[in-house]
Structure 1
Amino acid sequence: MTEQRDQQPSLEPMPTDWRRALAVVAHPDDLEYGCAAAVADWTDGGREVVYLLATRGEAGIDSVAPDACASLREAEQRASAAVVGVSAVEFLDHRDGVVEYGLGLRRDIAAAIRRHRPELVITLNHRDTWGGDQGGGYWNTPDHKAVGRATLDAAADAGNRWIFPELISEQGLEPWDGVRWVAVAGTSTPTHAADAGPGLERSVLSLLEHKAYIAALTDQDPEEYVRTFLTGNAERVAPRFGGRPAVAFEVFPR
């Protein structure tokens, strides 16, 4: 297994010549499991990162009714984002668990891209499975697939004035064709990586802010669970990134 990883191509460093990023995912905690260590390092360097979540994660805790769960998980997400230097967290209020890929989702994400005008857009694995080192072939959830794919499409939609022209007429959102890359975290076919070392400890603290969700997810000690998961993921990327623990991304240039 190790030999096979060592034979894989080295990962390129993530682009650094950008100032603003928009991270678009389905649920509270998606970014904390996926790439918060990279976000912490980026915000430390003076870059601006905004979080956009399609849902409030209201279907995520079996023992908590959706209305109560939504406000709980929103609060946990805002606290979690603050740990890694993110102050702007927005929610689209699509229904957790039944997010549909389609024009409505593309329009909502394109509108956010036009509002925030990022050069880098980040999302989560849009493919059917979590493969390879990212999960051993487990089936991905419909929400992740829908939001990831819609984000990749919306990066182009945002720059075309004739797609969703109502964003101009109704919201005053002029086209933004400045997205230079879309970076997908949690992919089994990464092309790039960001050094996880500087932000790894804060990524642990950030995920730990999802107290209610983690308590419902596992009986393991929360810090042990979080630290093992995040450090393990970062260390698995290291052989392809000069021996440094890292966060892997599949980068689609535009």
Structure 2
Amino acid sequence: MADRFEPMPEDWQRALAVVAHPDDLEYGCAAAVATWTDAGREVSYLIATRGEAGIDTIAPAECGPVREREERASAAVVGVDVVEFLDHADGVIEYGPALRRDIAAAIRRHRPELVITLNPDDTWGGTYWNTPDHRAVGRAVLDAAGDAGNRWIFPDTEAPPWNGVRWVAVAGSNSPTHAVDVTGGLERGVRSLVEHRAYIEALTDQDPEAYARELIEGSAREAAARFGGHPAIPFRLFRF
């Protein structure tokens, strides 16, 4: 098949996942993270905001700590111990040098070979408009992966330059190229999303577990058609 997904690279040890909000990684990508940590790889999370503007019924000062706790719990489900927050303002993240610097500094600290982020395109599937935060962070990650290796760009970061990023994998892309078989990680991918109970309960009247299972398993089954029948999480892979 001409449109068959290629397998994601496996010759790496450390990854850093960088997204805008708590829960961004749990909408599918976490199942891949569970698969990778099972194989002994190290994955760390960097979240640009605390998601404080994400629940209409909870004021930001209260919401931020709730969503941070949910994110740390969801990360633990898939074997991630390190979760950092940048404290950019939820909903109004600005693309620019300040954001690129924060992400480049984290890449230099964590020294990943693989960096993971979320769809920076204008739309989801050409139909639904993407949020400004997703667009800003996704684009900044792609730029910061190169910035991190240039000693003349952001020379004042604590850690020295790191030019070891080999790939940036974009989850939720409109044009995915690669995928991960998540047969072994799918159940934990579902449970990681369920940990965002306060967010899900504000989003839908559906039972959180039923909501998460339908969404995550349905997405993985859909991707299986292009990946040898195996439940999969697709990515668009950029090489550096």
- Report the TM-score, using the length of structure 1 for normalisation: 0.93
Query: 2:70 aligns to what?
Result: 76
Please give the residue correspondences for 1:160-239 in structure 2 after superposition, counting only pairs within 5 Å: 160-167=150-157, 171=158, 173-239=159-225
Structure 1 unmatched runs, 5+ = 1-6
Distance 1:112 1:152 in 2: 13
Q: Give 4+ residue runs of structure 1 displaced > 4 Å after superposition.
A: none
Distance 1:237 1:205 in 2: 20
Query: 2:133 aligns to what?
Result: 143
| Contact 2:99/2:140, CA 8 A, preserved across alignment | yes
Distance 2:217 2:139 in 1: 27
Q: Deviations over 1:191-216 (max 9, x none)?
A: 10001211000011110000100000
Distance 1:222 1:17 in 2: 36
CA RMSD after TM alignment = 0.9
Distance 2:208 2:100 in 1: 35
Distance 2:95 2:132 in 1: 9
SS in 2 for 1:22: strand
Query: 1:4 aligns to what?
Result: none
Report % sequence identity.
72
SS in 1 for 2:136: helix
Shift of 1:69: 0.4
Distance 2:28 2:95 in 1: 21
| Contact 2:28/2:219, CA 8 A, preserved across alignment | no
Query: 1:3 aligns to what?
Result: none
Query: 2:4 aligns to what?
Result: 10
SS in 1 for 2:62: helix
Shift of 1:34: 3.3
1:31 aligned onto 2:21 = no
| Contact 1:184/1:249, CA 8 A, preserved across alignment | yes
Match for 2:35 among 35, 41, 44?
A: 41
Distance 1:127 1:188 in 2: 8
Structure showing the higher helix proportion among its residues: 1
SS in 2 for 1:251: strand
| Contact 1:110/1:158, CA 8 A, preserved across alignment | yes
- Report the TM-score, using the length of structure 2 for normalisation: 0.98
| Contact 1:8/1:240, CA 8 A, preserved across alignment | no
Opposite residue 124 of structure 2, the aligned amino acid is: W
Query: 2:144 aligns to what?
Result: 154
Match for 2:103 among 99, 109, 131?
A: 109
Q: Deviations over 1:89-117 (max 9, x none)?
A: 00000000000100000000000000000
1:247 aligned onto 2:233 = yes
Distance 1:206 1:122 in 2: 17
Structure 2 unmatched runs, 5+ = none
Distance 2:208 2:82 in 1: 26
